[in-house]
Homo-oligomer: A and B are copies of this chain.
Amino acid sequence: MAENPCAICPYSVSGFCAAVLAESAHSQPHGASWRQHRVVAAGRQVVNRNDDSKHVYVLCTGWGFRFIQSNDGRRQILNFLLPGDLFSAASIFEERPHYSVKAVTAVQISEMSRNEVQSRLAADPAGLRTFAMACASEIEDLDELVTALGRLSAEERIARLLLQLTKRISARNVVRDRYFPMPLRQQHIADATGLTSVHVSRILSALRAREVLDLSNGHLRIIDPIEFARLGSAR
Protein backbone atom coordinates (compact mmCIF):
# COMPACT_ATOMS: atom_id res chain seq x y z
CA MET A 1 0.00 0.00 0.00
CA ALA A 2 1.63 3.21 -1.15
CA GLU A 3 0.85 6.60 0.32
CA ASN A 4 -1.54 8.23 -2.07
CA PRO A 5 -3.53 11.21 -0.78
CA CYS A 6 -6.68 12.09 -2.65
CA ALA A 7 -9.15 14.90 -2.87
CA ILE A 8 -11.80 13.06 -0.91
CA CYS A 9 -9.66 11.77 1.86
CA PRO A 10 -6.29 13.28 2.64
CA TYR A 11 -5.38 10.04 4.37
CA SER A 12 -6.29 7.66 1.61
CA VAL A 13 -3.63 5.04 1.16
CA SER A 14 -5.34 2.72 -1.24
CA GLY A 15 -4.79 4.47 -4.55
CA PHE A 16 -8.44 3.90 -5.18
CA CYS A 17 -9.59 7.50 -4.74
CA ALA A 18 -6.90 8.79 -7.05
CA ALA A 19 -8.04 6.49 -9.84
CA VAL A 20 -11.71 7.27 -9.44
CA LEU A 21 -11.31 10.98 -9.05
CA ALA A 22 -8.99 11.59 -11.99
CA GLU A 23 -10.44 14.66 -13.73
CA SER A 24 -10.16 13.20 -17.19
CA ALA A 25 -11.71 9.93 -16.28
CA HIS A 26 -15.27 10.59 -17.20
CA SER A 27 -17.70 13.40 -17.80
CA GLN A 28 -20.09 13.89 -14.91
CA PRO A 29 -23.64 13.02 -15.91
CA HIS A 30 -25.40 15.60 -13.70
CA GLY A 31 -22.90 18.08 -12.36
CA ALA A 32 -20.94 16.61 -9.47
CA SER A 33 -23.93 14.87 -7.96
CA TRP A 34 -22.38 11.44 -8.34
CA ARG A 35 -20.66 11.89 -5.05
CA GLN A 36 -21.42 13.62 -1.81
CA HIS A 37 -20.28 13.72 1.76
CA ARG A 38 -22.35 12.59 4.70
CA VAL A 39 -21.90 12.73 8.43
CA VAL A 40 -22.93 9.78 10.58
CA ALA A 41 -23.18 9.76 14.36
CA ALA A 42 -21.21 7.34 16.53
CA GLY A 43 -22.80 3.92 16.76
CA ARG A 44 -25.08 4.38 13.75
CA GLN A 45 -25.25 1.80 11.02
CA VAL A 46 -24.21 2.94 7.55
CA VAL A 47 -24.56 -0.19 5.43
CA ASN A 48 -27.06 -2.98 5.94
CA ARG A 49 -26.34 -6.50 4.79
CA ASN A 50 -28.58 -7.43 1.85
CA ASP A 51 -30.17 -4.00 1.49
CA ASP A 52 -29.35 -3.12 -2.06
CA SER A 53 -27.64 0.16 -2.55
CA LYS A 54 -26.44 2.13 -5.54
CA HIS A 55 -23.48 3.55 -3.66
CA VAL A 56 -19.89 2.91 -2.87
CA TYR A 57 -18.44 4.41 0.30
CA VAL A 58 -15.11 5.67 1.51
CA LEU A 59 -14.53 6.62 5.13
CA CYS A 60 -13.12 10.14 5.39
CA THR A 61 -12.82 10.77 9.12
CA GLY A 62 -13.41 8.74 12.26
CA TRP A 63 -13.47 4.99 12.85
CA GLY A 64 -15.94 2.40 11.58
CA PHE A 65 -16.14 -1.34 11.15
CA ARG A 66 -17.43 -3.88 8.70
CA PHE A 67 -19.18 -6.90 10.19
CA ILE A 68 -21.55 -9.81 9.77
CA GLN A 69 -24.29 -10.30 12.32
CA SER A 70 -25.36 -13.80 13.34
CA ASN A 71 -28.94 -14.89 13.63
CA ASP A 72 -28.50 -15.21 17.37
CA GLY A 73 -27.26 -11.65 17.71
CA ARG A 74 -23.54 -12.27 17.92
CA ARG A 75 -21.45 -10.41 15.45
CA GLN A 76 -18.09 -10.88 13.82
CA ILE A 77 -16.12 -7.79 12.92
CA LEU A 78 -14.31 -8.34 9.63
CA ASN A 79 -12.15 -5.26 9.75
CA PHE A 80 -11.97 -1.77 11.13
CA LEU A 81 -12.24 1.18 8.77
CA LEU A 82 -9.84 4.08 9.11
CA PRO A 83 -9.81 7.37 7.21
CA GLY A 84 -9.22 6.74 3.52
CA ASP A 85 -10.54 3.18 3.58
CA LEU A 86 -12.93 1.96 0.94
CA PHE A 87 -15.60 0.00 2.84
CA SER A 88 -14.81 -3.04 0.72
CA ALA A 89 -13.40 -3.62 -2.73
CA ALA A 90 -16.30 -6.03 -3.24
CA SER A 91 -18.76 -3.13 -2.88
CA ILE A 92 -17.79 -1.74 -6.27
CA PHE A 93 -19.42 -4.60 -8.12
CA GLU A 94 -21.76 -6.06 -5.54
CA GLU A 95 -25.37 -4.92 -5.88
CA ARG A 96 -26.21 -6.00 -2.34
CA PRO A 97 -23.54 -5.95 0.29
CA HIS A 98 -22.95 -9.24 2.10
CA TYR A 99 -21.82 -7.31 5.19
CA SER A 100 -22.94 -4.41 7.34
CA VAL A 101 -21.01 -1.32 8.41
CA LYS A 102 -21.27 0.72 11.60
CA ALA A 103 -19.62 3.88 12.84
CA VAL A 104 -17.50 3.54 16.00
CA THR A 105 -17.01 7.28 16.44
CA ALA A 106 -18.80 10.01 14.55
CA VAL A 107 -17.64 9.67 10.96
CA GLN A 108 -17.66 11.50 7.67
CA ILE A 109 -18.17 9.31 4.67
CA SER A 110 -17.96 9.93 0.98
CA GLU A 111 -20.88 8.37 -0.85
CA MET A 112 -20.36 7.73 -4.56
CA SER A 113 -22.57 6.36 -7.31
CA ARG A 114 -21.54 2.80 -7.99
CA ASN A 115 -22.25 3.14 -11.70
CA GLU A 116 -20.11 6.22 -11.94
CA VAL A 117 -17.26 4.57 -10.04
CA GLN A 118 -17.48 1.56 -12.32
CA SER A 119 -17.30 3.60 -15.48
CA ARG A 120 -14.46 5.71 -14.18
CA LEU A 121 -12.53 2.59 -13.30
CA ALA A 122 -13.25 1.11 -16.72
CA ALA A 123 -12.20 4.35 -18.44
CA ASP A 124 -8.92 4.58 -16.58
CA PRO A 125 -6.26 2.51 -18.34
CA ALA A 126 -4.75 1.66 -14.95
CA GLY A 127 -8.19 1.06 -13.46
CA LEU A 128 -8.08 -2.71 -13.64
CA ARG A 129 -4.74 -2.84 -11.89
CA THR A 130 -5.75 -0.32 -9.25
CA PHE A 131 -8.88 -2.24 -8.47
CA ALA A 132 -7.04 -5.55 -8.53
CA MET A 133 -4.50 -4.29 -6.03
CA ALA A 134 -7.26 -3.23 -3.67
CA CYS A 135 -8.86 -6.66 -4.00
CA ALA A 136 -5.62 -8.56 -3.58
CA SER A 137 -4.76 -6.69 -0.44
CA GLU A 138 -8.23 -7.22 0.97
CA ILE A 139 -8.02 -10.94 0.21
CA GLU A 140 -4.60 -11.15 1.79
CA ASP A 141 -5.82 -9.38 4.93
CA LEU A 142 -8.74 -11.77 5.18
CA ASP A 143 -6.54 -14.81 4.66
CA GLU A 144 -4.33 -13.62 7.50
CA LEU A 145 -7.37 -13.02 9.67
CA VAL A 146 -8.69 -16.50 9.00
CA THR A 147 -5.33 -17.89 10.02
CA ALA A 148 -5.32 -15.81 13.18
CA LEU A 149 -8.81 -16.89 14.22
CA GLY A 150 -8.11 -20.51 13.42
CA ARG A 151 -4.69 -20.83 14.98
CA LEU A 152 -3.81 -18.15 17.53
CA SER A 153 -4.48 -17.89 21.25
CA ALA A 154 -6.67 -15.13 22.63
CA GLU A 155 -3.68 -13.09 23.68
CA GLU A 156 -2.01 -13.38 20.29
CA ARG A 157 -5.19 -12.48 18.46
CA ILE A 158 -5.65 -9.34 20.52
CA ALA A 159 -2.02 -8.32 20.19
CA ARG A 160 -2.17 -8.97 16.46
CA LEU A 161 -5.24 -6.78 16.06
CA LEU A 162 -3.70 -3.93 18.03
CA LEU A 163 -0.39 -4.20 16.23
CA GLN A 164 -2.09 -4.10 12.88
CA LEU A 165 -4.09 -1.05 13.89
CA THR A 166 -0.99 0.79 15.07
CA LYS A 167 0.67 0.12 11.74
CA ARG A 168 -2.32 1.38 9.83
CA ILE A 169 -2.52 4.50 11.97
CA SER A 170 1.18 5.13 11.48
CA ALA A 171 0.73 4.90 7.71
CA ARG A 172 -1.78 7.73 7.83
CA ASN A 173 -0.42 10.12 10.41
CA VAL A 174 2.79 11.43 11.74
CA VAL A 175 4.39 8.34 13.18
CA ARG A 176 3.85 7.83 16.87
CA ASP A 177 5.44 4.69 18.08
CA ARG A 178 4.20 4.51 21.65
CA TYR A 179 0.83 6.20 21.92
CA PHE A 180 -2.09 5.76 19.55
CA PRO A 181 -5.67 6.90 19.46
CA MET A 182 -7.83 3.79 19.78
CA PRO A 183 -11.50 4.58 20.28
CA LEU A 184 -12.60 0.95 20.64
CA ARG A 185 -14.73 -0.61 23.37
CA GLN A 186 -13.60 -4.01 24.60
CA GLN A 187 -16.71 -5.38 22.96
CA HIS A 188 -15.35 -4.29 19.57
CA ILE A 189 -12.12 -6.13 20.23
CA ALA A 190 -14.06 -9.18 21.34
CA ASP A 191 -16.16 -9.12 18.18
CA ALA A 192 -13.10 -8.75 16.01
CA THR A 193 -11.15 -11.59 17.64
CA GLY A 194 -13.93 -14.10 18.20
CA LEU A 195 -13.80 -13.76 22.00
CA THR A 196 -16.10 -12.48 24.74
CA SER A 197 -15.65 -9.02 26.17
CA VAL A 198 -15.10 -10.51 29.63
CA HIS A 199 -12.17 -12.51 28.37
CA VAL A 200 -10.79 -9.51 26.49
CA SER A 201 -10.88 -7.58 29.74
CA ARG A 202 -8.87 -10.27 31.50
CA ILE A 203 -6.26 -10.46 28.76
CA LEU A 204 -5.87 -6.70 28.58
CA SER A 205 -5.49 -6.55 32.36
CA ALA A 206 -2.80 -9.20 32.17
CA LEU A 207 -0.94 -7.35 29.42
CA ARG A 208 -1.13 -4.19 31.50
CA ALA A 209 0.13 -6.03 34.60
CA ARG A 210 2.99 -7.52 32.58
CA GLU A 211 3.77 -4.02 31.37
CA VAL A 212 3.40 -4.83 27.69
CA LEU A 213 0.70 -2.32 26.81
CA ASP A 214 -2.09 -0.28 28.27
CA LEU A 215 -5.35 0.21 26.44
CA SER A 216 -7.61 2.71 28.17
CA ASN A 217 -9.19 6.11 27.78
CA GLY A 218 -9.47 5.63 24.05
CA HIS A 219 -5.71 5.33 23.67
CA LEU A 220 -3.22 2.52 23.35
CA ARG A 221 0.13 2.96 25.07
CA ILE A 222 2.89 0.57 24.06
CA ILE A 223 5.06 -0.07 27.09
CA ASP A 224 7.20 -2.92 25.79
CA PRO A 225 7.42 -2.61 22.01
CA ILE A 226 9.55 -5.75 21.61
CA GLU A 227 7.15 -7.99 23.48
CA PHE A 228 4.19 -6.33 21.80
CA ALA A 229 5.60 -6.99 18.35
CA ARG A 230 6.50 -10.54 19.29
CA LEU A 231 2.99 -11.34 20.48
CA GLY A 232 1.31 -9.49 17.65
CA SER A 233 3.24 -11.05 14.82
CA ALA A 234 3.08 -14.60 16.14
CA ARG A 235 2.00 -17.11 13.61
Q: Which residues of A contact B (CB under 8 A)?
A: 68, 70-71, 74, 76, 78, 88-90, 92-94, 98-99, 121-122, 127-129, 131-133, 135-136, 138-140, 142-147, 149-151, 193-194, 234-235
Contact check, B140 vs A142: say whether CB atoms are below 8 A apart.
Answer: no
Task: Report which residue of A122, A149, A193 has the largest number of chain B beta carbons within 10 angstroms of its beta carbon.
Answer: A149
With beta carbons under 8 angstroms apart, the residue of B99, B140, B235 that contacts A143 is B99
Say which residue of B138, B142, B194, B234 sits within 8 Å of A150 (CB atoms). B194
Once the chains bind, are A89 and B142 in contact (CB under 8 Å)? no
Residues of B within 8 A of A88 (CB): 139
A78 and B151 contacting across the interface, CB-CB below 8 Å: no
How many subunits of this chain does the assembly comprise? 2
24 A–B contacts, CB within 8 A, in A order: A68-B143, A74-B151, A76-B150, A76-B151, A78-B143, A88-B139, A90-B136, A90-B139, A92-B132, A93-B129, A93-B135, A94-B140, A99-B143, A121-B128, A128-B128, A131-B131, A135-B135, A138-B139, A139-B139, A142-B143, A145-B146, A146-B149, A149-B149, A149-B150
A135 to B121, CA, bound (A): 15
Selected from B76, B89, B140, B147, the residue in CB contact (under 8 A) with A76 is B147
Residues of B within 8 A of A127 (CB): 128
A210 to B164, CA, bound (A): 43
In the A-B complex, the 4 residue pairs with the closest CB atoms: A150-B194, A142-B142, A135-B135, A90-B136
Once the chains are docked, how many angstroms separate the CA of A146 from the CA of B194? 9
Additional 17 contacts, C-beta under 8 A, given A76-B146, A90-B140, A135-B135: A68-B235, A74-B151, A76-B151, A89-B136, A90-B139, A93-B133, A93-B136, A94-B140, A131-B132, A132-B135, A135-B139, A139-B139, A142-B142, A149-B149, A149-B194, A150-B193, A151-B194
